[in-house]
Amino acid sequence: MAIQITHLLKRYDKNVVLDHLDLDIKQGSIFGLLGPNGAGKTTLVSILNFLIPKDAGKITILGHDWDKNQKEIKSLCSLVPQSYAFYPSLSAYENLEFFGALHGLKHKDLTRQIHYALEMTALEKYRYKRAESFSGGLKRRLNIAIGLLNNPKILYLDEPTVGIDPQSRHYILNVIKKLNQSEGTTVIYTSHYMDEIEYLCDDIAILDHGKIMLHQSKEELIKSDHIATLHLSDESQKEINLYEDYDALVDTFCEIKEKSLHVKEITLPKSSLENLFLSLTKKELRD
Ligand SMILES: Nc1ncnc2c1ncn2[C@@H]1O[C@H](COP(=O)(O)OP(=O)(O)OP(=O)(O)O)[C@@H](O)[C@H]1O
């Protein structure tokens, strides 16, 4: 496991934000964390990155105890925050030099990592331009490039596609996939965009009121999303995948007819991720 969390408790005064939360995140996976506003996503990511303390519970990250091995964990992880975390008056290259030096990178190692980060985020041709002159998409990519400098084993991305056009969004999602596939990086991805989470993530969790309401693999979600159940006249059941090609569906119905059976009832697929999200977190507006 990349991350193991047991009975994590976090309060702000009397407000319990993480309520004895249990969660395991697989190594090498892209893990999507969904939740309505105020659910506790940023609080959870902030605790995992030592930005705020916890009140109780145990966290193990890549085999290291959160309470004892802060330095080791920090060297293995990187957080790309939702807000831009760079100096606007510096160029992309200068920003990467600065943040690379904070990781202790020097000389050839620093240059190599800067080129790697620029290449991954396709920022080479903008490297000498000041960050403040960048479009929203380029700024998001620079934020991510900074997060890649230390070759993290775990990369946290907090809503990295907010406020950008579909092209940049598509590019960023593919960078994340590439990183996961080529480097085996575990990615923890928070977003309000269900389609992104469905496209990108292997495992998906929905957090609300400080608890994990659902934690499933994408396969399980897709299965529940596309499988309808036919209830047949002999009381047996047959599942059909609505995304199967037309011929396969026709074959199923021919088979039923050949057995002189008929369909008494059809149970439709449970729901899309968005419907599942709304049914688990209810529909009332959050603060
Ligand atoms: N520093 C703080 N002091 C007091 N309460 C806080 C503080 N930070 C967050 N909270 C409260 O904790 C709860 C969880 O907030 P958090 O920012 O973790 O949620 P979130 O799921 O990240 O929300 P969003 O989707 O809006 O970013 C909210 O009720 C919020 O008001």
The residue whose CA is least distant from atom 18 of ligand 1 is 40
Ligand 1 close to Cβ of residue 17 (< 6 A): yes
Q: Round to whole Å and give the CA distance between 188 and 49.
A: 12
Distance of CA 287 from the midpoint of ligand 1 (Å): 10
Q: Which two tokens stand for residue 192?
A: 């309000």
Tell me if residue 120 falls in helix, strand or coil: helix
What are the pLDDT tens digits along the chain (287 aa)? 999 999 999 999 999 999 999 999 999 999 999 999 999 999 999 999 999 999 999 999 999 999 999 999 999 999 999 899 999 999 999 999 999 999 999 999 999 999 999 999 999 999 999 999 999 999 999 999 999 999 999 999 999 998 888 898 999 999 999 999 999 999 999 988 888 998 899 999 999 989 999 898 987 776 666 677 889 999 999 888 776 667 888 888 899 999 999 999 888 765 567 767 776 776 566 66
- Please count the CA atoms within 13 angstroms of the CA of 134 that sit on its side-chain side: 27
Q: Round to whole Å and give the CA distance between 47 and 8.
A: 10
The residue whose CA is least distant from atom 16 of ligand 1 is 40
| Mutation test residue for ligand 1: of 8, 16, 37, 190, the one with most atoms within 8 Å of CB | 37
| Closest C-alpha among 90, 161, 160, 100 to residue 126 | 90
Q: Are 122 and 142 in contact (CB under 8 A)?
A: no
Please list the residues that pair with 80 across neighbouring strands.
157
What is the 8-class DSSP label of residue 268? P
Ligand 1 close to Cβ of residue 38 (< 6 A): yes
Q: At what angle do helices 166-183 and 107-120 cross, to 10 degrees?
A: 130
Q: What is the dihedral of CA 176, 178, 180, 183, to 10 degrees?
A: -130
Q: Which two tokens stand for residue 253?
A: 């119905």
Ligand 1 close to Cβ of residue 12 (< 6 A): yes
Quickly list DSSP for 8-62.
Answer: EEEEETTEEEEEEEEEEE-TT-EEEEE--TTSSHHHHHHHHTTSS--SEEEEEET
pLDDT tens for residues 139-176? 999 999 999 999 999 999 999 998 888 898 999 999 99
Ligand 1 close to Cβ of residue 43 (< 6 A): yes
Q: Which two tokens stand for residue 75?
A: 């060297």
**Check: complex ipTM more than 0.90:** yes
Distance of CA 78 from the midpoint of ligand 1 (Å): 21
Residues 6 or more apart from 231 whose CB is under 8 A from it?
Answer: 237, 263, 264, 265, 266, 267
Quickly list DSSP for 141-171.
Answer: HHHHHHHHTT--SEEEEESTTTT--HHHHHH
| Domains of the chain and CATH, by start | 3-220 (3.40.50.300), 226-281 (no CATH)
Distance of CA 168 to the CA centre of its chain: 17
Q: Round to whole Å and give the CA distance between 101 and 110.
A: 7
Distance of CA 19 from the midpoint of ligand 1 (Å): 13
